[in-house]
Structure 1
């Protein structure tokens, strides 16, 4: 969120950290920021010790949620998104340099690129396995690769065909690997983060910030719209689950950014990228509390989008939509 077309320069004051942090707002804002992060970390720790609370089928990371859509669609789409988003980010970095990563939007934009990059690789590998199975076992057996066993008591997970010469085409429920779970974590962190960045940008910063210090250009407009648009299209096509508890990663992501800002200001940076992060005002605790609270509706809004998809798509497309 740089200002206009001028190159962004961060003000630095070596004496800034001495008296600035002695205000009463500092410990209050620190507690407001750190407490949700600690609670999120503890919740994830407890859930991780619980087996079976987070099952992710391998096919969910690369198989489309429509039977009529070829698996090749997702890697092609995700690859094009990576190229498009890198181009936008390159234009912004060429304009202002690495200082652009001073902003939460650029953090999130890069995270979305990482999601689509990992998704492209996993989708391409899934397609390679899928089409190799079709060549090996024939078209009829290949079609069973993405067929659901609706009579099983395994939550309708995708039945994957293993080309085992000894078992002769055994059906098994294959779980995603480490990269698959990393992809899901980044996906759900991005879901809340893109909602937060776009809502704050278009509803708070653009209408209320002075045009003398802030202006919107084409690159900034693309950065605060394409991130959500590309992710929504991917959500409509993919089979990834979106459980509520993963909001904890979204909270940790935002906490990390705020702590990063505090470290920079403790080192002498005197300018905040967002006015609501400023500590030198009696309203700072209220702003921090509101920004902490807004994470719930932002993540909840994206969760509702996925919920609506899984609720209404089976009714609108009963013969083609599948749910993992």
Structure 2
């Protein structure tokens, strides 16, 4: 193995091809994100390209109160935080040499942020319910007075009509309210995690465990669970939430993965002598094929999660017409 600290290592043909692919992916991801992300772009886009506040905390199931979704997110956040703390205690800060730990931490950040935004949404919902109840009581008193003055008027007509109008107005206003910075951050992290957890688990179970187990990779219950629950928890959240999944935010997943590779290159340029993932080694003639293969895996992983979301949005309204609601 050539010395990664030498300039010759980075200028060999196989390394240059890999560097071109990774930095090309970085540039393409930044271009797509800037062009299509409606938070800072004025470019054209579909309605679902915007992030609306209510889809971040309202479940897609009518029977599930937003507090239920908040509770799920809070429990997952605490569980994964405990697992990460245990892993840090055992392995120290060096665990962040691995893409798994990057992704696991990002999923924790998602569930932590999602819990806070869900809590904010629940508080706003309670406030709206309080206002609506006050108006209903006021309309009830008004209706009683009108019934006394006009005995021919249908009982409860104003009460029902006004309360429905009020609720419809509040729902329309809620649907129009676009998310702020943290709302967009939550949506972006969600879609980044979607590709990253699939990438982590597929590469681990189908490449590393069967073919690349060595002194740095020893399968144990903690490692096995970390490469399973991350995807499971995120898929469950996707089944419960109302968030959209536009294709262009896959650029953030590409950006996330490419930055990890660059991070590894920097470590090796500074003197790190072993690769956490041997297929990232640049000095072998097969390196470009490995990197190209990983690019294909990235595409497949993001496509898998996109397929799950599209299948949910297509089939759930038909299978559960009275229970499922679509907010975007």
- TM bin (shorter chain): 0.7 to 0.9
Deviation at 1:174, TM superposition (A): 1.2
From 22, 27, 35, the equivalent of 1:46 is 35
From 273, 276, 280, the equivalent of 1:277 is 280
Deviations 1:47-103 (A, max 9, x none): 223155422221100000011111101111111011100111111111110000110
The answer on whether the counterparts of 2:191 and 2:253 sit within 8 Å (CA) in structure 1 is: yes
Is the deviation greater in 169-178 or in 82-91?
A: 169-178
Deviation at 1:42, TM superposition (A): 1.2
* CA distance in structure 2 between the partners assigned to 1:207 and 1:160 by the alignment: 57
* CA distance in structure 2 between the partners assigned to 1:52 and 1:190 by the alignment: 23
Which residue in 2 is equivalent to 1:291? 294
> Structure 1 160/229 Cα, relative in aligned 2: closer, same or farther at 3 Å?
farther
* CA distance in structure 2 between the partners assigned to 1:103 and 1:56 by the alignment: 31
Q: Residue 29 in 1 paired to residue 22 in 2?
A: no
Deviation at 1:213, TM superposition (A): 4.5
Correspondence list, 1:157-306, <5 A: 161=170, 173-306=176-309
In structure 1, the residue corresponding to 2:323 is in which secondary structure? coil
From 6, 12, 17, the equivalent of 2:5 is 17
In structure 1, the residue corresponding to 2:5 is in which secondary structure? helix
* CA distance in structure 2 between the partners assigned to 1:283 and 1:171 by the alignment: 54
Deviations 1:6-44 (A, max 9, x none): xxxxxxx9x641153342211111001111211121122
The answer on whether the counterparts of 1:192 and 1:295 sit within 8 Å (CA) in structure 2 is: yes
The answer on whether the counterparts of 2:316 and 2:324 sit within 8 Å (CA) in structure 1 is: yes
TM-score (norm 1): 0.85
* CA distance in structure 1 between the partners assigned to 2:201 and 2:277 by the alignment: 14
* CA distance in structure 2 between the partners assigned to 1:173 and 1:88 by the alignment: 39
* CA distance in structure 1 between the partners assigned to 2:169 and 2:87 by the alignment: 43
The answer on whether the counterparts of 1:88 and 1:222 sit within 8 Å (CA) in structure 2 is: no
| Structure 2 gaps, min length 5 | 137-163
Which residue in 2 is equivalent to 1:125? 120
Which residue in 2 is equivalent to 1:314? 317
TM-score (norm 2): 0.84
* CA distance in structure 2 between the partners assigned to 1:284 and 1:201 by the alignment: 19
Q: Residue 110 in 1 paired to residue 113 in 2?
A: no
* CA distance in structure 1 between the partners assigned to 2:174 and 2:34 by the alignment: 33
Larger Rg: 2
> Structure 1 161/267 Cα, relative in aligned 2: closer, same or farther at 3 Å?
same
* CA distance in structure 2 between the partners assigned to 1:172 and 1:245 by the alignment: 22
Deviation at 1:195, TM superposition (A): 0.3
Which residue in 1 is equivalent to 2:58? 63
Deviation at 1:45, TM superposition (A): 2.0
In structure 2, the residue corresponding to 1:270 is in which secondary structure? coil
* CA distance in structure 2 between the partners assigned to 1:29 and 1:111 by the alignment: 26
Deviation at 1:264, TM superposition (A): 0.6
Instruction: Give the length in aligned residue pairs.
Output: 291
| Structure 1 gaps, min length 5 | 1-12, 142-146, 148-157, 163-168
* CA distance in structure 2 between the partners assigned to 1:171 and 1:103 by the alignment: 41
Deviation at 1:210, TM superposition (A): 3.6
Alignment RMSD (CA, Å)? 2.3
